[in-house]
Chains A and B, each alone.
Chain A
Amino acid sequence: MSSYHLDHLQYLETEAIHIMREVAAEFERPALLFSGGKDSICLLRLAEKAFRPSDIPMPFLNVETGHEFPELLEFRDRRAKELGAKLIVRTVDEAIAKGHAHPAPGEISRNKLQIPVLLGAIEEFQFDCAIGGARRDEEKARAKERFFSFRDSFGQWDPKNQRPEIWNLYNAKLNPGENMRVFPLSNWTEMDVWEYIKKEKLEVPNLYFSHERDCFWRGGQWLPVPPPHTDSTKSDPFAGARPKQNEPIKKMIVRVRTIADMISTGMIESKTDTIDDIIAEVAAARVTERGTRADDKASEAAMEDRKKAGYF
């Protein structure tokens, strides 16, 4: 280490650690949004680097749509336990039962319903800050996002009135009821995330590697066939998301590039068994990772509209 030189990953890492420590120092009750996906996996390693040998000074929070890949939930629970962190889970189902969330008639996706659940959890635990793994390269409304993204007491993002962020001086001041979303990976690209996972030898859910799976074609993409409905005392959470008569099921070798839930994650045909294979595939990719997300295709401003309403 004689050249006093940081490469791009080390630069992104030190920037993210600085931001995480600002959160720990400036907020009273922060939380870290951990889904088990690749971006939040990086967040956990950055939290370890920022706070060890102390405990990570904030709980993990996850909002379930009820349509999750089971293997993702297993991974999420296990990682939280391994790190000795408290994991708080709130679900769309619960929120619907309590009348806090109202599904739109005919809408199968619960993506938008995550908003009231997230806002409800923030209120329930009095969180003043939530760290998320969103990146600016994901989507063009995200490209305008700050590291410290201020939300008013309704959880809303006002893109035209954002606090300027100058040098590395983040304004964390809040009035009661307001809160902050903080995105330490803002400057990371999809490639940076995979290179960091490789460098740090981080475990990722098997979903990211090629595996055999039953899929069906809908809305221009291959969707996974949901698990069978077994609990007859409850209504089928995947009603409407199962293949219809005219949608034949095909056994395929697939993987995910980005994970939403089972009904909005397009599977890609791929043969990738290692992180190196994934990096090579990302490098050669000709569509963005969000190109496989049905939730972003709704309209040109789909993400901007959800963020204004309180989405992270």
Chain B
Amino acid sequence: MPHTHPIELLRFNTCGSVDDGKSTLIGRLLYDSKSLMEDQIEAMEKSATITGGGQINLANLTDGLRAEREQGITIDVAYRYFATPKRKFIVADTPGHVQYTRNMVTGASTANLSIVLVDARQGVIEQTRRHTYIAALLGIPHLVIAINKMDLVDWSEERFTEIRDEIEDFLPKFGSFHDVKFIPMSALSGDNVVDASTKTPWFEGPALLHHLETVHIASDRNLSTFRFPVQWVNRPNNPTNKELHDFRGLSGQIASGIVRAGQEVVILPAGIKSKVKEIWSYDGSLAEAFCPQSVTICLADDIDVSRGDMIVGLENLPGRSTDLQARICWMNQRPLSAGKKFYLKHTTQMVQVAVTQIENRINFETFDAEPNPAGLALNDIGTIRLKTAKPLLFDGYETNRLTGSFILVEQGSNATVAAGMLFPPLEAAKPEYADFAI
């Protein structure tokens, strides 16, 4: 449906155990919101008659790789797109298998909302806890627990309440979501997916799609503290055009907060104070800019600034340290042990880093942090300490998803081996500009 007014974008991911019906749910959302095209349906019918015994399999829509169709499972994150007149949606369909937890972390890292599927017959299983825990760990603000296959438990309110109570029992231990919704549904038949079902008179609603269309996401962004990691130095260096010859802009994407032309800022790590002379953009100068806009900032003073530096406001300075503490998800076959060296990518810079200590490992049965493990294996989550070759300018992940996160890259293979969430800094950066004041 064509829309004439700008609409909002919601990113969500679906996770759950194998056979909980994730792909079927997404197929259902696409099918019922008329986002499927005839040739896609035709292709599904074709593969259904050849391999599926004649029944259309909605999961075939998202399981795009040959191996996935053969094994009937989702291996990799699949992204899907659909729109209603109210919102546009980006869906990350993430695998349920334990060995693909890293892909769930990937799909969830950019999501506003997470849907965790639970099979009503099986109830809460280890995967349910693990996925809910990861959603909380990654700071996803909105959570939906989709209690699926309700048709197979005769739409029992008692069963629904039992599962909800069990989840509500352990949720507070994991952290705080802005909001949590429990929805009884059948993805296969479509009940409570797009339209409210007549089979759940005891459920006040809403259906899943209505919730996705209306959940309040405007305040998910951090607009309070200005952080601008310098990504690319923009120097036209044009000898024939004087204006361009002197142009020196600092390009990047605002990680958080708002910046205004004329505002005083601090350039870190140098600790020098300057003023925003101009917020340059292709569409003309801006009076102000906010996250996550991509802009080019020109400073009033000629200061040596390069990629990896950070421009911030005068208040609430970020931390600055070579000693870091972080919770990580380990994503590689080769386990992590203390003493190993990696590249660490944080905002727009890459530094060398050594893992000095593995403090604990989360036990996914009890969700206790078990101290001093021998190492972290694939899909393990734990707390580590690191020492970087150069100080990092950072915030705690809880307050800033972009200046509080990093990845580890293995030297040699260049594989991305960990996703890390930083603990809040012990002390803020201490710029020396006070010394310059006359």
- A residues with a Cβ closer than 8 A to B are 1, 4-15, 17-18, 21-22, 24-25, 48-55, 136-137, 139-144, 159-160, 162-169, 171, 173-175, 186-187, 189, 191, 279-280, 283, 285-288, 290-291, 300-301, 304
Partner of B282 from A10, A22, A48, A279 at Cβ < 8 Å = A48
Indicate if the CB atoms of B106 and A144 lie closer than 8 Å: no
Contact assessment for B38 and A143 in the assembled complex, using a CB-CB cutoff below 8 Å = no
Most buried by A among B79, B221, B249: B79
Mask: chain B, 1-45; 1 = CB below 8 Å from A; 0 = not: 110001111000000000000000000000000000111100100
Q: Which residues of A contact B237 (CB under 8 A)?
A: 54
* Interface assignment of B317: CB less than 8 Å from any CB of chain A: no
Q: Is B214 an interface residue (CB 8 A)?
A: no
Closest to A168 in B: B402
CB neighbours of B88 from chain A (8 A): 8
Which residue of A is nearest B348, CB measured? A25
Other-chain contact of A287, B37, B46, B64, B419 (Cβ < 8 Å): B37
Q: Which residue of B lies closest to A187 (CB)?
A: B90
CB-CB nearest in chain B for A16? B294
Give the interface segment out of B149-157, B195-203, B269-277, B403-411. B403-411
* Bound: A272/B263 CA distance, A: 48
Q: Which of A164, A166, A300 contacts B43 (CB 8 A)?
A: A300
Specify the main secondary structure of chain B where it touches its partner: mixed
12 more CB-based (< 8 A) A-B contacts, given A7-B8, A137-B80: A4-B258, A7-B6, A12-B9, A25-B307, A51-B251, A53-B244, A164-B331, A174-B414, A287-B39, A300-B43, A300-B46, A300-B69
* B345 CB within 8 Å of chain A: yes
Interface centre among B76, B223, B405 (most CB of A within 10 A): B76
Q: Are the C-beta atoms of A166 and B66 separated by less than 8 Å?
A: no
Q: How far is the CA of A207 from the CA of B42 in the complex (A)?
A: 28
Contacts of B1 in A (CB 8 A): 283
| Size of interface on B: residues with Cβ below 8 Å to A | 80
In the complex, residue of chain B having the shortest beta-carbon distance to the beta carbon of A159:
B65
Q: Are A49 and B76 within 8 A (Cβ)?
A: no
A219 to chain B, nearest CB (A): 14
B residues less than 8 Å from A6 (CB atoms): 292-293
A164 x B106 contact (CB < 8 A)? yes
Of A8, A191, A283, which contacts B9 at CB under 8 A? A8
A8, B244: Cβ atoms closer than 8 Å: no
Least CB distance, A66 to chain B, in whole angstroms: 28
A14 to chain B, nearest CB (A): 4
Q: Is the CB of B294 within 8 A of A164?
A: no
Contact for A8 among B7, B294, B331, B343, CB less than 8 A: B7
